[in-house]
């Protein structure tokens, strides 16, 4: 009996590969631990008043930019930051917003025994070990390769989610993420966490204002390409750094055309789209906006970096 060759799983017929995905990656707003210079890691700390203001200002900056999907770390400081950004969408003319998907793979680095200790202690331990701080692994802590594996897990999840959506719906502005039901992952008026956060700054309109020149723009981000899928991602400084590191390892290079018929190999005159100097922990609510193409969860390419560690909303 002739053995049959297993066939690869086909993609849904309504999906044209490669998918073009716009990612807007945001670091959470400030916490009291940030203010005091204390390592948080997996400790579930809340935003402080300044952090709520920062996230709301970012939401106002991006109010007219339509997102089809939203992902956030399941730690409250990132999750609420994502809610606050999306809460401003309806004021920008968007009739619906995506429901937030909480993901453990977007968490901050686990720092083991050094969590809830001053950053100065981590710096001292790294210095004694004669290592750079990001490379130093405290007792029971997570290593950089483990963080990078979580970054890849997120990109695989991202592809599964966006490839299940009809790109025709995305281009027509139809909401592609799950419906908002007033639960903990939505941005509805029934969301107590969001309502409580906004009440903190209800009398702080002066502190929430962004530049009038930004408010007058039809869009702040270059999201207009019809078949692109726009995703908001809220995470933590260390994990954002490692997501960008993974993406930079799969990037087009300066001088390389984004064309399947022209695959130029990197040379000494080419460089990655993300310079190593940007592989750092960004400021609170700084955002990076970039475009990548995805054939599947393991086959993706960073094709353009539009903004990196941008803090225009805090000007």
Find the helix or strand (DSSP H, E) in which 299 lies. strand 299-310
pTM to 2 decimal places: 0.84
Least confident of 94-98, 103-107, 160-164, 235-239: 94-98
**Is pLDDT at 253 greater than 50 in this prediction?**
no
Q: What is the pLDDT of residues 87-112, one digit of tens each?
A: 998 776 666 889 999 999 999 999 99
Q: Which residue of the set 20, 28, 242, 313 is catalytic?
A: 28
**pLDDT at position 17:** 78
Domains of the chain: 19-254+270-314 (3.40.50.1240)
**Is pLDDT at 167 greater than 90 in this prediction?**
no
Q: Is 28 annotated in the active site?
A: yes
Q: Is 108 annotated in the active site?
A: yes
Give bridge partners of residue 307 from the DSSP assignment: 289
Q: Which residue of the set 20, 79, 101, 108 is catalytic?
A: 108
> Can you tell me whether residue 242 is helix, strand or coil?
helix
Average pLDDT on 235-245 reads 97
pLDDT: which is higher, 123 or 210: 123
Average pLDDT on 59-85 reads 96
CB of 260 closer than 8 Å to CB of 252: no
Average pLDDT on 146-168 reads 86
Q: What is the pLDDT of residues 262-310, one digit of tens each?
A: 233 333 334 578 888 999 999 999 999 999 998 876 788 999 999 999 9
**Is pLDDT at 8 greater than 70 in this prediction?**
no
Helical residues (DSSP H) of the chain, grouped into ranges: 32-36, 49-61, 76-87, 119-128, 144-163, 167-172, 192-200, 205-208, 212-215, 237-248
Q: What is the pLDDT of residues 106-144, one digit of tens each?
A: 999 999 999 999 999 999 999 999 999 999 999 999 999
CB of 239 closer than 8 Å to CB of 107: yes
Average pLDDT on 170-188 reads 54
**DSSP tag of 313:** G
Angle of helix 76-87 relative to helix 192-200, nearest 10 degrees, comes to 80
Question: Considering the chain, what percentage of its residues have pLDDT values greater than 90?
Answer: 59
């Amino acid at each position: 009996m002739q053995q049959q060759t297993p066939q690869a799983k086909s993609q849904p017929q309504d999906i044209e590969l490669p998918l073009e995905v716009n990612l807007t990656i945001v670091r959470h707003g400030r916490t009291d631990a940030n203010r005091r210079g204390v390592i948080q890691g997996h400790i579930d700390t809340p935003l402080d008043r300044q952090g709520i203001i920062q996230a709301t200002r970012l939401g106002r900056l991006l109010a007219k930019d339509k997102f089809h999907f939203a992902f956030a770390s399941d730690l409250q400081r990132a999750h609420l930051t994502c809610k606050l950004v999306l809460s401003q969408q309806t004021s920008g003319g968007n009739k619906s917003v995506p429901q937030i998907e909480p993901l453990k793979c977007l968490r901050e680095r686990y720092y083991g025994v050094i969590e809830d200790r001053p950053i100065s202690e981590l710096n001292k331990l790294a210095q004694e070990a004669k290592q750079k701080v990001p490379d130093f692994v405290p007792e029971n802590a997570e290593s950089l390769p483990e963080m990078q594996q979580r970054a890849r897990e997120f990109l695989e999840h991202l592809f599964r989610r966006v490839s299940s959506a009809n790109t025709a719906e995305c281009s027509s502005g139809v909401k592609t993420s799950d419906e908002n039901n007033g639960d903990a992952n939505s941005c509805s008026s029934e969301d107590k966490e969001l309502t409580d956060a906004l009440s903190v700054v209800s009398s702080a309109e002066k502190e929430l204002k962004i530049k009038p020149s930004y408010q007058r723009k039809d869009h702040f981000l270059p999201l207009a390409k019809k078949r692109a899928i726009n995703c908001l991602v809220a995470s933590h400084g260390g994990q954002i750094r490692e997501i960008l590191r993974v993406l930079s390892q799969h990037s087009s290079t300066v001088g390389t055309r984004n064309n399947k018929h022209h695959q130029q190999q990197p040379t000494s005159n080419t460089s990655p789209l993300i310079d190593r100097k940007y592989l750092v922990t960004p400021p609170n609510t700084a955002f990076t906006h970039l475009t990548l193409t995805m054939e599947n969860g393991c086959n993706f390419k960073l094709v353009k970096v539009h903004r990196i560690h941008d803090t225009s909303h805090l000007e």
